[in-house]
């Protein structure tokens, strides 16, 4: 009969065998444990009897490098007072307060996990994963952007025109505006230049207040004009690339977390006064982790000591509306031929046969690419084939009014689209499209092309591939193939 022994009973039995005269090596081999483990059981049995053979915690009795309770309480107090501070900032604040012994960054992180102040499942990036890029000196590059989220008590929301020096992280602009239109944004830029000087370059995204890059009218906006007249090079990010202006985007996160969180303001003036106070503290007192835990003013002050502030070219407040100069890039309208191509400066560019008979707009960019648009949608892009010096004056003329859509001509023949998306005309199959399966379309023969239309709209154009002598049969049966009579 088999009897199952408990863990303590097995250990007790092994100890009794050794005390009975057997060797430690023999008993340890039979029970499948190490000699050191069996000696430990003997010591615990001699000291505490049978209760000494019960499993005990592996936690050490003492930990010399454990964080003192007073220091841990200080860490928790700082974290709860400033929820946005991480282990690095908390360590810096403890060092400023002369806390002894000063814990390491990893010790503070484990302390926050124990107190459930940090989510341990959140991924921590390694320091070697960070790739920091910055300009070598102050006033070399400013990053500018617009952020919202400033709420008033009456329910309205204000915008902030922000500007940050790339090298020093010094905030050069934080101006509240009711609406981020062109004039307020440019006033914020001019105010920042009067106060801090004119930078070498300014980096922005592709917003309409900054550039007309993706606007309908090509030319120079007011922001570009201010930069040009003051000798500032205006840089733009690639589309859908917010990380290019990552420093000012991270600055927005700091404003939301440390200044705007849970706050509303009585008026724009009151909000601007409090924001100016916070910006002064940010620039002169708040240590910045990205520049070695020093305030941004420490780095930015070096630029003022190296050179005097340039003179800002002011713009007249009551000047006439700015009329952009005639840009070199213009759009010109072309009619797509039956072969799906348009002709520019003696060269043909493919658009697509599905747009045959439609008007499209072609545009040459500064990079030598020809972009073709149909109703504002980019449909094709080609490298320029013709030499730039052969571009005629007609290319730079203003786009002519859109011509009326040409009417369908030719004798119609009715056909039904089969399940494969094609029709049969004069014994030859012509493709219509899967979207027209089992629908009735009209087929017309115009010259050497076969045009297929649906509901009065041209959908496909094909070069005629059928035999000419079979056209008579196709036109004689305009409603399609006759049904076969049923036999009795």
Q: 408 with 460: CB under 8 angstroms?
A: no
Q: What mean pLDDT do residues 382-397 have?
A: 62
Q: What confidence category does residue 327 fall into, taking pLDDT thresholds of 50, 70 and 90?
A: very low
Which of these CATH numbers, 3.40.50.720, 3.30.460.10, 3.30.420.10, 3.20.20.80, describes 141-306? 3.30.420.10
Contacts of 154 (CB under 8 A, 6+ apart): none
Output the pLDDT for position 322.
42
Residue % of the chain over a pLDDT of 90? 31
Residue % of the chain over a pLDDT of 70? 82
The answer, yes or no, to whether residue 368 has pLDDT greater than 70, is no
180-226 pLDDT, tens digit each: 999 999 999 999 999 999 999 999 999 989 998 887 767 789 999 99
Asked if omega into 67 is within 30° of 0 (cis), the reply is no
Output the pLDDT for position 192.
93
Q: Which residue has the tokens 């060797």?
A: 23
Output the pLDDT for position 276.
95
Residue 174, phi then psi, degrees to nearest 5: -150, 75
The residue among 189, 185, 188, 209 whose CA lies nearest residue 199 is 189
Q: What mean pLDDT do residues 56-85 have?
A: 84
Tell me how far apart the alpha carbons of residues 144 and 247 are, in angstroms, rounded to a whole number.
Answer: 10
Residue 229, phi then psi, degrees to nearest 5: -70, -20
- Both tokens of 424, joined, read 């049969």
Which alpha helices (DSSP H) does 98-148 contain, by range? 105-114
Give me the sign of the Cα torsion angle 165, 171, 173, 176.
positive
Q: What mean pLDDT do residues 331-345 have?
A: 83
Output the pLDDT for position 319.
43
444-486 pLDDT, tens digit each: 887 778 888 898 888 888 888 888 878 877 777 655 554 455 5
Tell me how far apart the alpha carbons of residues 43 and 53 are, in angstroms, rounded to a whole number.
Answer: 10
Predicted TM-score (pTM) above 0.75: no
Classify residue 219 by its DSSP letter.
S
Mean pLDDT of the chain: 82
Per-domain boundaries in the chain = 7-53, 69-120, 141-306, 331-396, 413-476
């Amino acid at each position: 009969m088999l009897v199952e022994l408990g863990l303590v009973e097995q250990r007790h039995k092994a100890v009794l065998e050794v005390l009975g005269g057997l060797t430690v090596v023999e008993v340890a081999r039979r029970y499948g444990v190490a000699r050191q483990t069996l000696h430990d059981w003997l010591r615990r049995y001699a000291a505490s009897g049978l209760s000494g053979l019960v499993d005990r915690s592996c936690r050490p009795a003492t930990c010399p490098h454990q964080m003192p309770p007073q220091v841990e309480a200080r860490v928790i107090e700082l974290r709860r007072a400033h929820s946005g501070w991480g282990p690095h900032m908390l360590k810096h604040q403890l060092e400023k307060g002369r806390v002894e012994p000063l814990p390491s960054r990893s010790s503070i992180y484990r302390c926050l996990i124990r107190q459930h102040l940090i989510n341990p499942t959140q991924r921590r990036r390694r320091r070697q994963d960070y790739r920091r890029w910055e300009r070598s000196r102050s006033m070399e590059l400013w990053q500018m952007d617009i952020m919202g989220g400033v709420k008033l008590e009456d329910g309205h929301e204000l915008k902030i025109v922000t500007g940050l020096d790339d090298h020093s992280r010094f905030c050069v602009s934080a101006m509240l505006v009711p609406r981020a239109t062109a004039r307020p944004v440019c006033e914020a830029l001019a105010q920042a230049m009067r106060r801090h000087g004119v930078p070498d370059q300014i980096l922005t995204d592709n917003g309409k207040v900054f550039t007309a890059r993706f606007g309908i009218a090509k030319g120079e906006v007011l922001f570009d004009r201010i930069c040009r007249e003051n000798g500032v090079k205006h840089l733009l990010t690639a589309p859908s690339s917010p990380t290019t202006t990552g420093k000012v985007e991270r600055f927005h996160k700091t404003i939301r977390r440390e200044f705007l969180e849970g706050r509303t303001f009585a008026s724009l003036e009151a909000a601007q006064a409090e924001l100016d106070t916070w910006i002064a503290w940010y620039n002169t007192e708040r240590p910045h982790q990205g520049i070695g835990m020093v305030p941004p003013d420490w780095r930015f002050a070096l630029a003022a000591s190296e050179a005097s502030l340039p003179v800002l070219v002011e713009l007249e407040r009551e000047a006439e509306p700015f009329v952009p100069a005639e840009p070199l890039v213009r759009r010109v309208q072309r009619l797509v031929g039956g072969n799906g191509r348009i002709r520019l400066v003696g060269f043909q560019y493919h658009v697509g046969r599905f747009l045959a008979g439609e008007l499209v707009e072609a545009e040459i960019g500064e990079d030598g690419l020809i972009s073709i648009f149909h109703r504002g949608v980019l449909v094709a892009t080609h490298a320029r084939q013709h030499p730039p010096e052969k571009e005629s004056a007609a290319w730079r003329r203003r786009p002519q009014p859109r011509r009326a859509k040409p009417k369908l001509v030719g004798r119609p023949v009715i056909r039904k689209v089969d399940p494969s998306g094609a029709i049969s005309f004069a014994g030859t199959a012509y493709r219509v499209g899967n979207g027209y399966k089992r629908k009735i379309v009209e087929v017309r023969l115009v010259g050497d092309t076969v045009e297929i239309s649906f509901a009065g709209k041209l959908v496909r154009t094909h070069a005629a591939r059928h035999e000419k002598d079979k056209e008579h049969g196709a036109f004689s049966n305009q409603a399609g193939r006759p049904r076969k009579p049923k036999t009795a």
